[in-house]
Structure 1
Amino acid sequence: MSQKITLGLAAAALLISILAVALAWSTSAKVEEALHATGQELGALTSAVKSLNSTLASLASGVEQRLANVEREAAAAKNATAILLKAAQAPAGEVPVKYAKLFSIRYEGGYYVLRDALGRTILLAPRGAGPALTKFYVDKYKPAAVVYYPVQRAVYMSSTHVAMAYRLYKEGGDAHVLKSVVGIMWGKEYAWHLPEVAKALENGTIRDVGPASSPNYEQIAALKPDVVFVYFYPGPYGTEAVIQRLDQLKIPYAVVNEFQEGSPLGRAEWIKFIAAFYNLTDAAVKIFDGAEAKWNSLAALAREAEHRPRVAWFIIFGGVLYPAGPQVRELISLAGGRYAYSNYSRVDLEVVLKEKDVDVLVWSGYGVQSVSDILKIEPRLSELKAVAVGRLYAYSDAFYQLANAYPDQVLEELLWIIHPELAPPGNFTLFVPLR
């Protein structure tokens, strides 16, 4: 009996052990499954964390980039504001132009804004100016040319332009103006009445760069001018092609058509335009004001004359008589004279020979040295009173070179001619008494 109980207990124990092992196996499998599932979740979580970290890093980089952009934009805005503030606070105004119609000069701080004879805008920027401020004015005015002043190297097309620069140099006391002239068109074709210019052309300091209608562009480019002063007129023998070529070569130029102004003072006033390229507008204004004051003083003196002599003014060339134009007639009146042919709408040789009672004859050209030179051209002029009494004058060969720059001297010498009793003649420069 006890043996049976023992066997029964053993069997029960064995069954319990088997059940325990089965339970343990089942639990282990579940645990393993649970661990596997947990591992997968951890992997997914790790991947998600990595993705989040990447996203956060990308966001951080984007934020840094945006912050950098904002900082740059803020700095640019600050600089732009500073430039606008500087421009707004800079003194602005115009250089006074009283008589000339074909140019203007504005200034804003250290910058000049010019209008030349073709209506082009030229920006003059001071050397060493900050590029940002210069760009501001370039964007504002969109100039046809930007020139940095004071110009170091300049080429001139006309001797009349050189004469204005010379007067600026001589009376303004700035030698740099003359030193800046490195080239002149037709330079060696003129008889120069500006001694320093003549000497510089002779020793090669100033180069002759060929005729005004077709200059030597290679030579001009080699001189590396800051600016070329040109005059403009159209036509097959004009200078339009010169301007087009300078545009192609990207050589800055300024158009100076002083000869188109309606008055002598208007022509002379172009000295202010040229002076701007040297930052010498104050000196030019002073020079011009002095010339204007002398002009007005001479005109006032002429008004005191008790009589007004009759003045004939013409030249005969190729058998054709060319009389005085409206500007010359006004000049005669200012000098206290009467134009001899004011009652005629058309003046020719027949009129001149009819109106013999003229007090003064001005031959409006040069190349004649005596009365006999005139009479070789037209012998019948001997019948004129002015020729008979010896009051016959001609232009000197300096007239066309200097007259536009020195209108006060033109009027002074004309007063000597018409009213020697009011203004005893001095040394003639622009006119020549013919004997």
Structure 2
Amino acid sequence: MKRFSPLSLVGALLLAVGCDAPAPHTADDFTLALYTPAYASGFEIRGLAGDTPAQPAPTGQTPQIAQIPPTATGTAPQSRPADAAKPAAVPPRPAAAPHSPTLLTIRNPWQGARGVEQQVLILRGDATAPAGFEGTVVRAPLRRVVCLSSSFVAMFDALGEIARVKGVSGIDYLSNAYVAEHRACGEVRDVGPDTNLDYELLAAMRPDAVLLYGVTGANSVAEAKLAELGIPYIYIGDYTETSPLGKAEWLVAVAELCDRRAEGEALFGRIEARYEARRAQVAAYVEERAPDIACRPRVLLNTPYRDTWFLPSSENYIVRLIRDAGGDAFTAAGDGNASQPVELEQAYLLAADADLWLHTGSCNTLAELRSQNPRFAEVPAVRQGRVWNNNRLQTPAGGSDFWESGVVRPDVVLDDLFQIFYPDNGLDYTPVYYHALR
């Protein structure tokens, strides 16, 4: 992936607004901090110095915290948590003037990236970019978008902008109701896996942008082909965030691409307030009943892949969710979200001490889990029926909505885990994303 420096690679930006041509701008002029994330580490949004520092009127109704959408296998359970009250009003952030460009900076959008940046110049109105700009140029609002990750689809849906999504990757694994309803008529197309995209289809679709992700490096093949086709691409790095709220906060970056940043901030504020309220409730409950960490449920995660069991690091966002829900996850040494290999024998020793076992792959029953390895039958959590998987909402092909809408709704995942860890907490609640294996 190219590295774009707003200080050295951006020439004069000439904007044509109305009938008057303002003085040229350089990227140095994008000094107005429009949005600096509180949790996410991978993006920021800046505007031109001198823009009016006043929050614009929302372009539409502020998105509400939506109910978890129906899946291809039926509707989600009705016992979902009620939305929290809206948080108290906060001072308005600065906002770009109407039709003014903004600069979205994406940083280190894959595991292990260091010093990698993508500069995305977001134009509005009749503004144009200079020939010298070496970053990505798009015009907001994006009207035709291709999403290569299910979490990106969920962000558009949460914002009420799902109709902008015209292409996806792995459509059979997506739970989104709009995608399911509009695939038959061809309004939403499957462009193939990110490693083997259908570039002929993409050329015919002419999307305004393709939203990419990287796992351990840049998707260099896709970058080159999309550049050849003249299709802008933008990396969305929610995958790399170690904070559950940091992952969800990327919906503000997506909102900026839709000219809905004010609404995106308001929506994220509600999710954040709800998460923090539940986290505080959990902390008080656990402090009263299990002040010693040794008294908290010990949690084993995942199942072996071939002859290796991968466990998350202590910084992994799932581990943080478990911690915020009052649990204690077994982890491996390492940094960030990446999981680390653990010898099978060591993992079996941990399994013998685990009170709960979560995230058991594609398994829907204990019999399926035991069939993977006879030794699983002796794991205490299996014998006691304390195994939960995060695929309660899944498509016939096996795609789990946990990895889709669950990324945008860490507050609901936190509710689920609190109920699993402390079923006697007094709440009348059934987990949304998790189910107990029987």
| TM-score, normalised relative to structure 2 | 0.69
- Please state how far the C-alpha of 1:338 moved relative to its aligned partner: 1.9
1:283 to 257, 260, 263: 263
Q: Describe the SS at the equivalent of 1:202.
A: coil
Equivalent residue for 1:240? 220
Equivalent residue for 1:112? 102
Equivalent residue for 1:384? 379
Residues 71-86 of structure 1: matches in 2 within 5 Å? 82-83=22-23
Equivalent residue for 1:338? 328
Q: 2: CA distance between counterparts of 1:125 and 1:325?
A: 40
- Please state how far the C-alpha of 1:255 moved relative to its aligned partner: 0.9
Contact 1:123–1:143, Cα closer than 8 Å, also in 2: no
Contact 1:313–1:362, Cα closer than 8 Å, also in 2: yes
Equivalent residue for 1:406? 409
Equivalent residue for 1:373? 368
Contact 1:234–1:240, Cα closer than 8 Å, also in 2: no
Equivalent residue for 1:66? none
User: Is 1:179 aligned with 2:166?
Assistant: no
Contact 1:341–1:347, Cα closer than 8 Å, also in 2: no
**Superimposed CA distance per residue, residues 213-234 of structure 1 (whole angstroms, 9 cap, x where no aligned partner):** 1211121121121111111346
- Please state how far the C-alpha of 1:241 moved relative to its aligned partner: 0.3
Question: Partner letter of residue 155 of structure 1?
Answer: V
- Please state how far the C-alpha of 1:114 moved relative to its aligned partner: 0.7
Backbone CA RMSD of aligned residues:
3.1
**Superimposed CA distance per residue, residues 348-386 of structure 1 (whole angstroms, 9 cap, x where no aligned partner):** 443344352432111342x21111111112233333332
- Please state how far the C-alpha of 1:286 moved relative to its aligned partner: 1.2
**Superimposed CA distance per residue, residues 384-403 of structure 1 (whole angstroms, 9 cap, x where no aligned partner):** 33223222101202222233
**1:339/1:214 CA distance change after superposition, 3 Å:** closer
Q: Describe the SS at the equivalent of 1:336.
A: coil
Q: 2: CA distance between counterparts of 1:88 and 1:119?
A: 16
Unaligned runs of 5+ in 1: 1-77, 170-176
Q: Describe the SS at the equivalent of 1:101.
A: coil
- Please state how far the C-alpha of 1:145 moved relative to its aligned partner: 2.3
Q: Describe the SS at the equivalent of 1:429.
A: coil
2:179 to 176, 194, 197: 197
Equivalent residue for 1:361? 357
Residues 158-307 of structure 1: matches in 2 within 5 Å? 158-169=149-160, 177-187=161-171, 189-190=172-173, 192-233=174-215, 239-303=219-283, 304-305=285-286, 306-307=289-290
Contact 2:151–2:403, Cα closer than 8 Å, also in 1: yes
Question: Partner letter of residue 406 of structure 2?
Answer: A
**Superimposed CA distance per residue, residues 74-110 of structure 1 (whole angstroms, 9 cap, x where no aligned partner):** xxxx955x5479x999994321311111211112323
| TM-score, normalised relative to structure 1 | 0.70
1:147 to 127, 138, 151: 138
User: How many pairs were matched up?
Assistant: 337
- Please state how far the C-alpha of 1:317 moved relative to its aligned partner: 2.7
Q: 2: CA distance between counterparts of 1:216 and 1:432?
A: 36
- Amino-acid identity (%): 27
**1:268/1:353 CA distance change after superposition, 3 Å:** same
- Please state how far the C-alpha of 1:269 moved relative to its aligned partner: 1.2
Contact 1:314–1:362, Cα closer than 8 Å, also in 2: yes
Contact 1:182–1:207, Cα closer than 8 Å, also in 2: yes
Q: Describe the SS at the equivalent of 2:302.
A: strand
**1:432/1:243 CA distance change after superposition, 3 Å:** same
User: Is 1:321 aligned with 2:261?
Assistant: no
Q: Describe the SS at the equivalent of 2:303.
A: strand
Q: Describe the SS at the equivalent of 1:315.
A: coil
- Please state how far the C-alpha of 1:431 moved relative to its aligned partner: 1.8
User: Is 1:429 aligned with 2:432?
Assistant: yes
Contact 2:308–2:341, Cα closer than 8 Å, also in 1: no
**Superimposed CA distance per residue, residues 285-310 of structure 1 (whole angstroms, 9 cap, x where no aligned partner):** 11111111122122112212212122
Question: Partner letter of residue 407 of structure 1?
Answer: P
Contact 2:146–2:167, Cα closer than 8 Å, also in 1: yes
Unaligned runs of 5+ in 2: 1-18, 49-96, 110-115, 291-295, 335-339, 392-399
**1:213/1:357 CA distance change after superposition, 3 Å:** closer
Which one is further off, 304-313 or 316-325? 316-325
Q: Describe the SS at the equivalent of 1:404.
A: helix
**Superimposed CA distance per residue, residues 24-65 of structure 1 (whole angstroms, 9 cap, x where no aligned partner):** xxxxxxxxxxxxxxxxxxxxxxxxxxxxxxxxxxxxxxxxxx
- Please state how far the C-alpha of 1:406 moved relative to its aligned partner: 1.9
Larger Rg belongs to = 1
Q: 2: CA distance between counterparts of 1:394 and 1:167?
A: 24
